[in-house]
Structure formats: structure tokens, C-alpha cells
Structure 1
Amino acid sequence: MKNIQFSFLIIAILLFACGNQEQEVSKSQIEKPRTIVTTDGEVDDVDSFIRFLFYTNEFDVEGLIYSSSQWHYKGDGQGTTFTSEMSSTAERYGERTELRWPGTTWMQDLIGKYGEVYENLKQHADGYPSPTALMDLIKVGNIDFEGEMAKDTEGSDWIKKVLLDDDDRQVYIQIWGGTNTAARALKSIEEEFKGEENWDEVYQKVSNKAVLYTVLDQDATYEKYIAPNWPEVKVIYNSDQFWCFAYPWVTRVPEELRQYLSGDFFKEHILFDRGPLAGAYYTWGDGRQIENDDEHDHGDLEVMEKFGRKQYDFISEGDSPAFFYLLDVGLRSHENPAYGGWGGRFVQSKSNPNRWEDGKHVTDFNPYSEESDATYPQTRWIKEIQHDFAARAAWSVKSYDEANHAPEVWLDHDHNVKAQVGETVELSGGAKDPDGDELEYVWWHYLEAGSMNGVIQIQDQNTSKASFVVPDEASPGETIHVIFQVSDNGYPVLTRYQRVIVEVLD
């Protein structure tokens, strides 16, 4: 009898070990998003890039490309004059030989500061690329003038190479300035392959791989070249929601949330005693100015007072939503831009099914103003996003035991479920915290992300197990999105999620 019991024990141990091994394999197989950053080097690009470096462990970074825009270009060095194709910029600047060009060394300088905190960051998370690896990804793209895409450049050639490689994963090209360097890469592919036997295959491959996340149109190359010639290239177009993370944030962010963009927040969490990378972050009244950019006068105390800001207040990171969208915090927004997440919420264009847009018609209910708000799909995450940034900055200087790390959150059932009108949907999830912190649970209905307009009543919403009844006003085929949100009680408080999508059946 003892031998039989012993045999069962051995089998149980082996099965448990195999199960754990399968779980570990599945975790390791989760793919990071591939991404390329193109940037024109404005002050908000610099601050976006500083934050981006703290998150490089979350991506497969494939390129860091200097590009131009309607606001920044180098000129050709021969005195050639240029007038913007964008009417507002043409009126503002007129004819120029160059415009506020910040140079092509600032990314290298910041990666150097990243290198000083790299070993400490590695204590907190796997996957941070070495400073050398990041340096090797820096390329100079099309920078002579706004919208210049007549010639191949090191940057456009690099994007072309990535789009044509044998890795079939999508490549998210973040457009922090103009689209011209990305457009040149696509144009070069067209020039090389169009008319050849394999053109259809190459066209489809590139169209399937390339995803542009653009923050405004900062030159005319998307409209003039990419849209008519590469209509199947996917685009996420942020023209409005990003403003809560950009220059006019005070007008877009509810007063109750402005504390997370205040000078007090940045003094405590980012600028001081957080190492050289976080310390390089530009804020209002910090006494610093980007060379050759006289419009970056935010550091001047008199200018600060003129605009009613306080010292060390947030200036702008208008481009950061492009990589917020790629962060896997459990919201599943990478599956469909309409789901909404840290990078905003978008709807499919009526004229181009491969283009997703925001705008005045894409709104979430703002509980602070009690109105529908076109910025709130992005604004609603500010507290959690800023706390996350604060934690990453602390990783620069603190040991693992001293710092905070986000909880791991899961569901005990499928992420997609089906239910009929009147049926009770049982929700169950769990979480664990790597630091042993206490956890707070909440299940909430993300009304705007789903297609059902009715409100659900979630029972036991502050526990790990909750439920709701599919309401009578639901119709077959409609969807209900429920977010399982878990926050720890560490400092700063960190939050992660899971999303359940319920499809209403006949």
C-alpha cells in the first residue's frame, strides 16, 4: 500500500512540474510588440523619449529615427528656402532655410544617461536592451525639410529593411513628427518591386506588417503619398485625445487629476534623486532650453508666470500615447483600437477600414464634468500612467526591495464569453503582488468600449468574484466590456487589468 501511495505521489509531482513548465513556456512565448520611433526632436519628443527609455523592456525596439516635421527641419545647408505645405505653419513662419532644428545627437545623449541607470533598471525587470544595442538603432532619416521624401536616407533604408525582413510580426511605426521618413521607406519599396513578379506579394506583406500610430499630420506625406498608394497600411490617428498629455493639458485635464501633472508630482517622483535620465526631463521653470529652439522658453520663470504655470509643472508629452498603446497592462487594446486603453480609444474610419481615428465624435463619459468628453478616453488613465512612470523612475536608484512593482492580474475563465439577455454572467479573477502588497479589486463597466448602450449592475464589484445580469435592452450581437482592475497599496500605487468581453446571444 505504501509503495502504491508513493507511486501516486511521484506521478503527482511529475504532473505538477510539467504543468508548471508548460505555464512558464507559455509566458515566455508572449511576444513583445516590434516598434520604430520617428521623431523631430521637439521638447515634448525629448520628454516622451525619456519616458520611452524607461519602458524599453516592454518592446522589441527596431529603430530610433531622426525625422523632420512642419515644426522642425535642418535645411540642406545650401541656403535653399522652403515654405510649409501646412497652411498654419506657412502663415506662422513664412519662408525659411531651416526651422528650430535640435540636431541629431540628443537621443544619443539620453541613451548615455540611460546607460548610467541600466544596471539598476535590470534589477526590476527583464528585457531592458543594452545602451549599445539602442545606440546601434539610431539612424538619421529625412530631415532637410518638412515632408522631404525625394531621396533614400539611412533612416528610410532602415525602416524599409525592417518591413521587408522575415519576421511577420506587425511593426508599429510611431510618428512623433512628420510621416516623411516612413513614406520614403514605402516609396523605396514601391520603386524597387512595383512591376516585378512578386510585387503583389511584397505589397501585401508590407501592408500587413506596417502600423502607423500618428500624432496629428505634421507634414503632408501621409495624405499625398501613403494614403493613395498604400491604403491597406493600418493607421491609428490621434488628433485630439493626446492633448491631455500635450501643451494645453490644463484645459483638457479635470482639476482633480491635474495633481499628477503638477510641479509637486515631478519634484517628488521624477526630477530629483531619481538619477540622470529622469533628471534630464524638461519642465516649466527649470531654467533650461534646447539649443537652436527659441520657442522652447518654458524654462524661463517669467514665461512660466505669464502662462500661469508653477515651477516644474509638466510641459508636454504629446507623442507618448503612441507607445502607451503598446504597453501590455491587460486592457487588450492592441487587439482592437476601439477597445480603448492607455493609448486612447479610436473608431474605424468610414472611408478607410484600415484607419482608426479619434475626434469629437469619439467620447467617454467624464465623471468630473458629468459630460461626454472627446479627450477622456485618454485622460481617464492619467493617474495610473503617471504612477507607473514614477515607479519606473524610482527603479533607476532603488533596489528591488525598496521599490514598487505592478501586480500580476489574471482571469479564472475565458476573456471572451457569451450570454443571453437575462442570464447572469459570473466573473472571477485573481492577482498576486511581487512585493507582497495588499491589493484592491474593482470590476467596472467600460460602456463606450462595447456596442451595448445599456448600463449593467455589477454585484460584489470590489471582490475577486463578481457578477451581473445581461440587461433587457441588450440585443443579440452586441458586446459588453467589463474591466477587472487591481491596484496595490505600494508607493506609488500601481495598477493592472484584465478585460472580459461578453457577446450577447439570441
Structure 2
Amino acid sequence: MKKLFLVFSILTASITVMGQQPIPVKPRILISTDIGGTDPDDNQSMAHFLMYSEMFETEGLVSSPSYGHGSKQNLLDMIDLYEKDLPKLKKYIKGFPSPDALRAICKQGRQGAAPFKGYTTATEGSDWIIKCARKESTRPLWILVWGGLDDLAQALHDAPDIQNKIRVYWIGGPNKKWSTNSYVYIVENFPNLWFIEANASYRGFITNDKQPGKFNKDYYDECIRGAGYLGKDYIKYYDGKVKMGDTPSLLYMMDGDPNNPQKESWGGSFEKFTHSPRIIFNRSTTLKDTVPVYAIIEFRIKGPEMNIPADSTCFTMTTDGQDWDGFYLGNGEYAVRYAPKSTAVLTYKITSDIPGFPEQTGEFVVNNTWPGKIDADDYKLGDYWYTDRNDANLFEGKWQGSKTVSKWRKDVLQDWAKRWELLK
């Protein structure tokens, strides 16, 4: 139904989507990525972006690692590879940005998650988001978030006027647990933001690495091996297996009308939702407590009053093999947030070195109902929030809406294979 038709015999910057309208104007995009952090699929998605970068008016590449040690240098390293491959790509396709132009828009964002209030101080990355959003343009700035929301939250805090100038496509799911505090800041203070929260649909792009074939575990060997410097680098990430969980945000922008999230697109199809679930616990939990997947789970604890600033990190919650910072809110009140990434039965332990702090353990069940029934503590959303489709026929296993992406996966990889072929 829908394929990119690339005419290699004619040098052109125009790429059409068969069955849809061609992209009338290059979309303005800014990518916020945790490349170099704990998940190397950002490197894979960055390679894909660079090989299709003539399709976008790219205004920013921001390093925003909520967790891990990623930095702007990881972006620059990928651009160095692109520079070496660019002469071959330019023989067949016009409009690629120069490597120096891309280097100039690489910015360093926050390294590490925001505190409980959801923001701290400006970064080079958050300031760049503001600068790009405030440009005079009849087109919105699309912010594609491949990691945490910390720099976006900081930009909105520092410049609330940009909320009507931007549109956000966020790869949530596991990234949500790394930026619960910045997410809460955004939904509480900017409910009218235009926002796609893709918690599971993107999983439709991840390779079935146990299934043989050109479009599964053999894609690297059949399509990438021997293809330039980007191809040589690609094997470093998941041994060349295609994950690229962030790529659906790019695919969504390669359509003729990204303004309608409810239509079908290579980057998924979404539905409106009016409430983002939040569950508050003022006690230890048991297996009788069930929470929705991807929900904000907030543990509130009453403890000793401390002579330390509010929002200070002072205790730890350990769950699912990871540690999460807890914060002092003042007046003897403490809190920590968590967002489960998939269905599970989770245990947790809350500990602190503070004398008299009420340490606790507990467990709870995570079900597969997103966003689930409305609760009084939920965050109320405006008219332009979208998320994974809840139709049972669009699940793949436990992943909600995944089929809205996976149905196009072969088409995407076929088209990308043509570009890899140019580098051989």
C-alpha cells in the first residue's frame, strides 16, 4: 500500500510515499537522544537518520542522557562516519546536509535525570530547543525524543511560550522510567501540548532475531555488510541485529501529513487519551495492589524532619534490579516516582541512611491496561495527546499498538537496503 519510491536514475530531493501525498515541505525537526547511554539502539537510529537526512530540515541534535554516560561527542562520532560515506550518497540523491552544518547544531543537554520538581537549570540543549522553537516559521518544530524528557521539560519551564510552537513524538516505555519527574512536570503544567506518547507501538520495528531471513536476523549480512563506514560501525550495536526502537519517530515524519496521528503511517497510528494514570501509595504495597503499565507510581513517605533543601536526594528505592532516587519534599515528607515498562510482579525496597527513616519493602502487580480506568489522581490531558492504540487486534504479544508499526517494517527495511547498496 505504502512505499517510498526512490528514482535513483534522477538526481532529486523529492521522495514520495506511494498511496499518500508527497512531503510538501521538509519538516522542521530536532532530535533529543540518549545516544551513548545504556541502550545502543540510538546509534542504529542515528545511522538511519543520517542516511535519510535530506528529507528533513534538521535544526538540532541534542544529547539528553537521563541515565548513562552519553554525550554530544557520540553524535559527532556518528557525523564523522556520515562525512566519509556522503560522497557516495550524493552521487544519487540531492539535498543531504553538510557534516559541518550537522556538527553546528549538536548540543549538550542534561546528563542525568531531573529532580522531583522536574527541572533544574538550563543546559546548552534546552536553550537550543527554545531558540529553534522561537524561530519565525509557519511550520511547527517537531521534537523527536529518543530518551528522557529532561531537556524538553527544562525548555518549557524556561520559555512557556514555546508550547504552541512545538510538537512532540516521544519514544516512551522504558524511557519513561528514566524521566518520571520531567514527564510529570510536563503533564501537570502543559496539558495542552501537542504530544504523541508511544510506549509500545515502536516495538513493532524491533527485529525477531531468532527468525532467519533478510528482514530479521540476517538483515545485516544481506543488506549492510560491506556498506561504507556507517555499515562497518553498525555491527557494533546488538551484533548488527536491527532494534532501532527510536526510528519510528523518524518514519512518522516521512509521511505527507504528520499532523494527523490517527491515520496510518510507517511510524505508527495513535489514538487520543484524556488522562495519564498516576497511583499514589502512602504505605507499603502488597500483591493486592495492581497498577497500569507505564503509569506514574508515586510512593509518599512520612519521616523525620530534616534541615536540608527541598528536592534533595536522600533515599533509594530498588526495584527490578535498578536504583531510583528518592527526594525530600520538606516538612518530613519524602517521595519517589517509578514507571513500570512492562507487565510484571515487582518487589521493591526503600532504604536510607537518615536516622529514623521508615524503611520499607513491598510488592505490586503491573497489568497491561494502558491508560486504564480514570482515577482521581490521574493527570488530566488536553485535546492533543495521543498514545498507542488500544485495539486488541493491534497488540503483538503484550505490546499495545505494535502492529501499527510492524505492518510497514519490511517496506522500510527494503527501502533502506537500497540506500545501503549505494555505499557498497
What secondary structure is seen at the aligned counterpart in 1 of 2:54?
helix
Listed one character per residue, the Cα deviations across residues 73-116 of structure 1 (whole Å, up to 9, x for unaligned) are xxxxxxxxxxxxxxxxxxxxxxxxxxx31343121111011001
1:267 to 2:218 alignment: no
What secondary structure is seen at the aligned counterpart in 2 of 1:339?
coil
Displacement after TM superposition at 1:278 (Å): 2.1
1:357 to 2:392 alignment: no
Measured in 1, the distance between the counterparts of 2:419 and 2:181 equals 36
Displacement after TM superposition at 1:144 (Å): 3.7
Measured in 2, the distance between the counterparts of 1:222 and 1:338 equals 26
CA gap of 1:382–1:323, structure 2 versus 1, over 3 A, is same
Partner in structure 2 of residue 313 of structure 1: 241
Partner in structure 2 of residue 45 of structure 1: 42
Displacement after TM superposition at 1:228 (Å): 2.0
Partner in structure 1 of residue 262 of structure 2: 338
CA gap of 1:50–1:170, structure 2 versus 1, over 3 A, is same
Q: Output the TM-score relative to the length of structure 2.
A: 0.63
1:232 to 2:186 alignment: no
Displacement after TM superposition at 1:266 (Å): 1.1
CA gap of 1:117–1:373, structure 2 versus 1, over 3 A, is same
Pick the structure with greater CA Rg: 1
Identity %, equivalent residues: 27
Displacement after TM superposition at 1:243 (Å): 1.3
Q: Output the TM-score relative to the length of structure 1.
A: 0.53
1:208 to 2:164 alignment: yes
Q: Tell me if the contact between 1:347 and 1:362 (Cα under 8 Å) persists in the aligned partners.
A: no
Measured in 1, the distance between the counterparts of 2:48 and 2:213 equals 19
Measured in 2, the distance between the counterparts of 1:44 and 1:380 equals 20
What secondary structure is seen at the aligned counterpart in 2 of 1:113?
helix
Q: Tell me if the contact between 2:69 and 2:111 (Cα under 8 Å) persists in the aligned partners.
A: no
Q: Tell me if the contact between 2:395 and 2:402 (Cα under 8 Å) persists in the aligned partners.
A: no
1:387 to 2:399 alignment: no
Measured in 2, the distance between the counterparts of 1:259 and 1:213 equals 31
2:218 partner amino acid: D
Partner in structure 1 of residue 358 of structure 2: none
Measured in 2, the distance between the counterparts of 1:373 and 1:177 equals 19
For residues 94-493 of structure 1, the aligned pairs below 5 Å read: 100-145=68-113, 149-190=119-160, 203=161, 206-216=162-172, 217=176, 218-246=178-206, 249-250=207-208, 259-270=213-224, 272-282=225-235, 288=236, 298-299=238-239, 312-314=240-242, 316-328=243-255, 332-351=256-275, 352-361=382-391, 363-364=393-394, 374-397=401-424
Measured in 2, the distance between the counterparts of 1:29 and 1:338 equals 18
Measured in 1, the distance between the counterparts of 2:57 and 2:42 equals 20
Displacement after TM superposition at 1:363 (Å): 4.3
Listed one character per residue, the Cα deviations across residues 469-499 of structure 1 (whole Å, up to 9, x for unaligned) are xxxxxxxxxxxxxxxxxxxxxxxxxxxxxxx
Displacement after TM superposition at 1:143 (Å): 1.1
1:354 partner amino acid: Y
Displacement after TM superposition at 1:365 (Å): 9.0
Partner in structure 1 of residue 313 of structure 2: none
CA gap of 1:29–1:269, structure 2 versus 1, over 3 A, is closer
CA gap of 1:350–1:375, structure 2 versus 1, over 3 A, is same
Measured in 2, the distance between the counterparts of 1:207 and 1:101 equals 29
Measured in 1, the distance between the counterparts of 2:24 and 2:189 equals 33
Of the three residues 53, 57, 61, the one matched with 1:56 is 53
1:64 partner amino acid: L
CA gap of 1:104–1:395, structure 2 versus 1, over 3 A, is same
Measured in 1, the distance between the counterparts of 2:71 and 2:108 equals 10
Measured in 1, the distance between the counterparts of 2:251 and 2:22 equals 22
Q: Tell me if the contact between 1:64 and 1:138 (Cα under 8 Å) persists in the aligned partners.
A: yes
What secondary structure is seen at the aligned counterpart in 2 of 1:105?
helix
CA gap of 1:221–1:101, structure 2 versus 1, over 3 A, is same
Measured in 1, the distance between the counterparts of 2:260 and 2:84 equals 37
Q: Tell me if the contact between 2:156 and 2:163 (Cα under 8 Å) persists in the aligned partners.
A: no
Displacement after TM superposition at 1:261 (Å): 4.0
Of the three residues 54, 63, 66, the one matched with 1:66 is 63
2:76 partner amino acid: Q
Between Structure 1 and Structure 2, how many residues are aligned? Answer: 290
What secondary structure is seen at the aligned counterpart in 2 of 1:267?
helix
What secondary structure is seen at the aligned counterpart in 2 of 1:32?
coil
Displacement after TM superposition at 1:164 (Å): 1.2
| Higher strand fraction (1 or 2) | 2
Report the more deviating stretch, 352-361 or 383-392: 352-361
Displacement after TM superposition at 1:222 (Å): 4.6
CA RMSD between the two structures: 2.9
Measured in 1, the distance between the counterparts of 2:264 and 2:143 equals 19
Displacement after TM superposition at 1:260 (Å): 4.3
CA gap of 1:221–1:128, structure 2 versus 1, over 3 A, is farther
Q: Tell me if the contact between 1:261 and 1:313 (Cα under 8 Å) persists in the aligned partners.
A: no
Structure 1 residues without counterparts, runs of 5 or longer: 1-23, 73-99, 191-202, 283-287, 290-297, 300-311, 398-506
Measured in 1, the distance between the counterparts of 2:384 and 2:246 equals 21
Displacement after TM superposition at 1:362 (Å): 6.7
CA gap of 1:250–1:239, structure 2 versus 1, over 3 A, is same
Displacement after TM superposition at 1:208 (Å): 2.8
What secondary structure is seen at the aligned counterpart in 2 of 1:166?
coil
Measured in 2, the distance between the counterparts of 1:150 and 1:167 equals 29
1:136 partner amino acid: A
Q: Tell me if the contact between 2:202 and 2:248 (Cα under 8 Å) persists in the aligned partners.
A: yes
Displacement after TM superposition at 1:335 (Å): 3.5
Q: Tell me if the contact between 1:62 and 1:137 (Cα under 8 Å) persists in the aligned partners.
A: yes
| Higher helix fraction (1 or 2) | 1
Structure 2 residues without counterparts, runs of 5 or longer: 1-13, 15-20, 276-381
2:202 partner amino acid: F
Q: Tell me if the contact between 1:260 and 1:382 (Cα under 8 Å) persists in the aligned partners.
A: no
What secondary structure is seen at the aligned counterpart in 1 of 2:253?
coil
Measured in 1, the distance between the counterparts of 2:120 and 2:395 equals 45
